[in-house]
Amino acid sequence: MSHPHPELGAPPEIPEGGLRITPLGGLGEIGRNMTVLEFGRKILIVDCGVLFPEEEQPGVDLILPDFTSIRDRLDDVVGIILTHGHEDHIGAVPFLLREKEDIPLIGSKLTLALIEAKLQEHHIRPYALEVKEGDRERIGPFDCEFIAVNHSIPDALAVAIRTPAGMVVVTGDFKMDQLPLDGRLTDLPAFARLGEEGIDLLLADSTNAEVPGFVPHERDISQVLRQTFDKADKRIIVASFASHVHRVQQVLDAAKEHGRKVAFVGRSMVRNMGIARDLGYLKVPDHLIVDVKVLDDLPDEQVVLVCTGSQGEPMAALSRMANRDHQIRIVEGDTVILASSLIPGNENAVYRVINGLTRWGANVVHKGNAKVHVSGHAAAGELLFFYNICKPRNLMPIHGEWRHLRANADLGQLTGIPKERCVIAEDGVAVDLVNGVAKIAGKVQAGYVYVDGLSVGDITESSLKDRRILGEEGIVSVFVVVDSTTGKLVGGPNIHARGSGIEDEAFGAVILKIEEGLSRSASEAVMEPRQIQQIIRRAVGKWVSDNYRRRPMILPVVVEV
């Protein structure tokens, strides 16, 4: 990936008494959040999340941060602080703990419960330290204080990390809703106190830095949901993130008011809402929740389904419903509510699902036509307010694409932070905090690590390029038999095409070109199978390009006899 300092090499040794901050994910992208802090040869990690694949990454399930730069130093890692329980902040933890199981996890009650449930699937039992707002813990050389922040999931925390090199504050994802559903406000007095003490470097959420003003209140959604429920005369299907406890609570409340039963659909939704209910974060009225298996016994006007798939994920419940690949069949008159924002890059997938649902007769309610979601991230007005409270000496925007990072840096400058103290980095760029000044020091490896089924890191960019070619252009296989001593053609060529749009019979015109090429190679004593494959590949590739303007993958198979 490009960044504004292409000449950067590997960072030098950390200056005496300095603190190094290296983001391994979350900068220049929405997701994969992971930041590494190093002081005194000890490492503290803040968050360890995943990024979800886009269309140009076919077959990929998840994208992880690259652990290469710390892999040989896992014994120096004193802990992983998890700011909240969203997948883009905790989803990669199991893959890191596979490499060293005893790294302590530090987080709030709900956050740890969500990650521990995931780790059970990987047969990992972590050491966990539960913290809450106001707590202060010594983690190696890092003195960590935890501050309440409001987000779209309960129990989110920011963290102030004090070291002899200075204080670093990481906001995590946050907003400043003054009427939160759970009454838990972003603790502005605590941030003001830290500002008075002196925040040397603030790592701040950039996701909504381009959005003017303030984010609407979460509770504004409740009235829209009630109105949608009022109009619905058949089933209601609500798609949300599997960890969006606040939104699910609003759905449960609306369902109770309208005399409907609720069923959770999707393994992660069932698991997470069960955890939230058991811990008291989700208030579930008696007899409201039913098993999805009993839905057929209920009238449509008494049914609410809560499922995953609000981002158009191909294997999630909603996408499968849209594709008629799920036990729940969308029928005329169903109401589907997409109760989440559009993550950049997912637009095409989401609208494909919306079109699929509409095709089967569903009334689809989404952010584009109704106020069924508010963001969990501070908008520009909130960030300006926040910076004036915190008064950081240095600002490093995190959690966002390039446009978000730059917009956030501009906001910081408006509040008086000098331009040279607003550090715009990207994944892998190391920033040193020395004598109260944050400066870029170098870069480490921080590429994408792809998860495909049970494979982690085996898929490369070259593999993805091959997959894209197969998906877009198809494949042409050419089977020939050659004499192992003379290199002459003794059988074939047999040609078959799949997904290329070219009928097998059309390849008769290229067979003569292959035969001529192989005859010429035999006369020149070319008998190596790899060379023969290349001759076939060139002949077929040129013919297909000249006649069809296509570039399928060409797979020659050479058998020697």
Which tokens is 13 given? 């040794």
CA distance 418 to 435: 16
Distance of alpha carbon 446 from alpha carbon 22, whole angstroms: 10
Strand partners, 143: 138, 162
Q: Is 376 annotated as a binding residue?
A: yes
- The radius of gyration of the chain from alpha carbons, rounded to an integer in Å, stands at 28
* Contact residues for 348 (Cβ-Cβ < 8 A; gap 6+): 55, 312
Tokens coding 257: 């008011």
Backbone φ and ψ for 82, nearest 5 degrees, come out as -110, 115
Q: In angstroms, rounded to a whole number, what is the distance separating the alpha carbons of residues 448 and 96?
A: 14
According to DSSP, residue 287 is labeled T
Buried b (16+ CB within 10 A) or exposed e, 54-80: eeebbebbbbbbbbebbeeeeeebbbb
377 annotated as a binding-site residue = yes
Question: Cβ atoms within 10 A of the Cβ of 130, count?
Answer: 14
Backbone angles phi, psi at 2, to 5 degrees: -80, 155
Alpha carbon distance 513, 289 (integer Å):
68
Distance CA 380, CA 282 (A): 30
User: Can you tell me which residue has the tokens 């799949």?
Assistant: 498
- How many of the other CB atoms lie within 10 Å of CB of 154? 25
* Structure tokens belonging to residue 456: 């982690």
* Closest CA relative to residue 57, chosen from 345, 411, 384: 345
Calculate the CA 94 to chain-centre distance: 15
Q: Is 399 a known ligand-binding residue?
A: no
Q: What single DSSP character describes residue 29? A: B
First to last CA, the chain: 48
In the block, tokens 């950390």 appear at 14
Dist CA 296 CA 18 (whole Å): 64
Q: What span, in angstroms and rounded, lies between the C-alpha atoms of 398 and 364?
A: 34
Compute CA distances 21 → 35, 234, 473, 552, whole Å.
7, 53, 44, 45
Q: Is the CB of residue 251 less than 8 Å from the CB of residue 306? A: yes
Longest Cα–Cα distance of the chain, Å, equals 85
Which tokens sit at 423? 């550090």
63: β partners: 51, 450
Cα 212 from chain centroid (whole Å): 25
Give dist(CA 329, CA 320) in Å, integer: 9
Annotated binding site: 373-377
Annotated binding site for substrate: 373-377
